[in-house]
């Protein structure tokens, strides 16, 4: 279980739409009802959280993991991460308007392990049961798009595994691999810059909001092409799947090389190329 997700979102999922409407109703009786309900939820949540900590502590032992790393280099036009963080000041010219991801300890740019994990997780398809559950909340047009994308994901993931390891895999194999990897098994560490050179540059994007207005170029801070990142993973040695530690590392690398990371990958930002170095055999 992801304890962060459980804390920030999971505990509130026990409240339904009627509860939230009652909270903003202004009716003290309705508000008190929801608060009483949530008091029990919060109490149970604390017990579950402590129970989960004990379970996770039993599971975690560094001797069960193998540290695997590889180095990839950014490609032009560059790399963006953390653009959603607020940075812009109104009416100030010549500023970089994008946020950026920096490590709190070193102050250097980083790629969070959670972002790497999410990008790799997104490659894997949903099962038929999972997609049916997701479709319940969507419109007719949205349902069609999501189903088509998921079917494409099934084919692409099976094809990727086949091309990498020269074996035939089924959808059941892919789903079992997904569940094993992402059920708190393999650990995705932050990727860090290993170059001691100038890594930043400015890049301009020009959104055309209206054909009747002159577009205004927006200045972004980006990482240049040719900057090396070290990607590191703690991979569970005895994970009961058909891919070994080294094979899983190969898979993760290939997904990053194929799909990229960070923002604006549709504009070819966030693309990487392999760097062959001594001791970097994956």
Per-residue pLDDT band at 52 (split at 50, 70, 90) = low
> What own/partner pairs with CB < 8 Å and gap ≥ 24 does 242-247 have?
242/169, 242/173, 242/177, 243/165, 243/177, 245/66, 245/68, 246/68, 246/282, 247/164, 247/165
**Alpha-carbon distances, residue 268 vs 42, 44, 108, 239, 259 (angstroms):** 45, 47, 23, 34, 10
Residue 264 is classified by DSSP as -
Question: Are 165 and 52 contained in the same domain?
Answer: no
pLDDT of residue 196 exceeding 90, the answer is no
Q: State whether 121 and 36 are in the same domain.
A: no
Give the mean pLDDT of 214-232.
90
**Structural domain tally of the chain?**
2
DSSP-based helix, strand, coil % in the chain, nearest 5: 45, 15, 40
* CB-based burial label for 153 (10 Å; 0-12, 13-18, 19+): middle
Q: Is the pLDDT score of 277 beyond 70?
A: no
Q: Locate 27 and state its tokens.
A: 């009716």
107 in the same domain as 73: yes
Token duo for residue 277 = 């170095």
Residues 31 and 128 in one domain: no
Assigned domain for 232 exists: yes
Which helix or strand (DSSP H or E) is residue 224 part of? none
Average pLDDT over residues 10-36: 88
CA distance 228 to 191: 10
By residue range, what is the domain housing residue 36?
A: 1-59
What pLDDT is recorded for position 58?
Answer: 54
- Contact indicator for 83, 100 with CB cutoff of 8 Å: yes
Q: Is residue 92 part of a domain?
A: yes
- Is residue 282 a part of any domain in this protein? no
Same domain, yes or no: 179 and 255: yes
pLDDT tens digits for range 111-148: 999 999 999 999 999 998 988 888 888 888 888 888 88
């Amino acid at each position: 279980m992801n304890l962060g997700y459980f804390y920030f979102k999971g505990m509130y999922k026990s409240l339904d739409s009627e509860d939230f409407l009652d909270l903003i109703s202004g009716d003290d009786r309705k508000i008190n009802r929801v608060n009483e309900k949530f008091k029990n939820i919060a109490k149970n949540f604390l017990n579950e959280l402590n129970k989960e900590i004990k379970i996770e502590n039993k599971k975690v032992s560094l001797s069960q993991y193998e540290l695997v790393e590889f180095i990839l280099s950014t490609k032009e036009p560059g790399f963006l991460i953390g653009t959603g963080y607020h940075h812009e000041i109104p009416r100030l010219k010549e500023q970089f308007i994008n946020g950026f991801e920096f490590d709190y300890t070193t102050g250097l740019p980083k790629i969070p392990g959670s972002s790497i994990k999410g990008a790799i997780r997104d490659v894997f398809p949903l099962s038929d049961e999972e997609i049916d559950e997701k479709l319940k909340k969507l419109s007719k047009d949205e349902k069609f798009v999501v189903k088509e994308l998921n079917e494409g994901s099934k084919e692409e993931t099976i094809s990727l595994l086949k091309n990498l390891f020269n074996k035939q895999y089924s959808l059941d194999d892919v789903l079992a691999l997904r569940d094993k990897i992402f059920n708190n098994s393999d650990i995705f560490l932050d990727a860090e810059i290993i170059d001691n050179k100038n890594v930043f540059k400015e890049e301009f994007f020009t959104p055309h909001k209206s054909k009747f207005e002159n577009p205004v170029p927006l200045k972004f801070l980006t990482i240049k092409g040719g900057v090396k990142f070290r990607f590191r993973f703690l991979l569970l040695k005895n994970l009961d799947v058909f891919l070994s530690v080294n094979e899983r590392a190969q898979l993760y690398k290939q997904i990053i090389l194929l799909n990229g990371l960070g923002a604006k990958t549709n504009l070819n930002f966030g693309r990487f190329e392999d760097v062959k170095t001594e001791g970097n055999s994956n």
